[in-house]
Amino acid sequence: MEGIRHIFFDLDRTLWDFDANVDITLREMYTRYGLDKHISSPEVFIAEYQFQNQRYWDLYIDGKITKKHLRTVRYRKTLEVFGIKNKTMAEQMGTDYIMLSPLQKMVFPDTHKTLDYLKEKYTLHIITNGFEEVQHIKVKSSGIDHYFDNLITSEKAGALKPHRKIFDYSMKLVKAHPEQCIMIGDDPEKDIHAALNIGMQAIYFNPAGLTINGVKSISNLNELMEIL
What's the residue count for the chain?
Answer: 228
**Least distance from C-beta 83 to Mg ion, angstroms?**
34
**Least distance from C-beta 185 to Mg ion, angstroms?**
6
Of the candidates 6, 7, 9, 13, which one interacts with Mg ion according to CB under 5 A? 13
**Least distance from C-beta 119 to Mg ion, angstroms?**
21
Stretch that binds Mg ion, among 10-18, 28-36, 164-172, 195-203 (CB under 5 A): 10-18
Distance of CA 22 to the CA centre of its chain: 11
Residue 76 or residue 190: which is nearer to Mg ion going by CB?
Answer: 190
Stretch that binds Mg ion, among 13-21, 69-77, 90-98, 115-123 (CB under 5 A): 13-21
Stretch that binds Mg ion, among 45-53, 61-69, 102-110, 180-188 (CB under 5 A): 180-188
CB proximity list for 174: less than 8 A, separation 6 or greater:
6, 123, 125, 149, 150
CB proximity list for 227: less than 8 A, separation 6 or greater:
1, 203, 216, 218
- In terms of DSSP bridges, do strands 181-185 and 6-9 run parallel, antiparallel, or are they unpaired? parallel
Stretch that binds Mg ion, among 7-15, 136-144, 164-172, 174-182 (CB under 5 A): 7-15
**Least distance from C-beta 18 to Mg ion, angstroms?**
7
Of the candidates 30, 186, 203, 218, which one interacts with Mg ion according to CB under 5 A? 186
Residue 10 or residue 48: which is nearer to Mg ion going by CB?
Answer: 10
Query: Can you tell me the distance from the alpha carbon of 66 to that of 56, in angstroms, rounded to the nearest whole number?
Result: 10
Query: Quick check: 130 and 11 in contact, CB under 8 A?
Result: yes
Q: Is 48 in the site for Mg ion (CB under 5 A)?
A: no
Query: Quick check: 138 and 102 in contact, CB under 8 A?
Result: yes
Q: Is 12 in the site for Mg ion (CB under 5 A)?
A: yes
Q: Is the dihedral of CA 131, 58, 161, 117 positive or negative?
A: positive
Which residues sit at the interface with Mg ion, rule CB under 5 A? 10, 12-13, 186
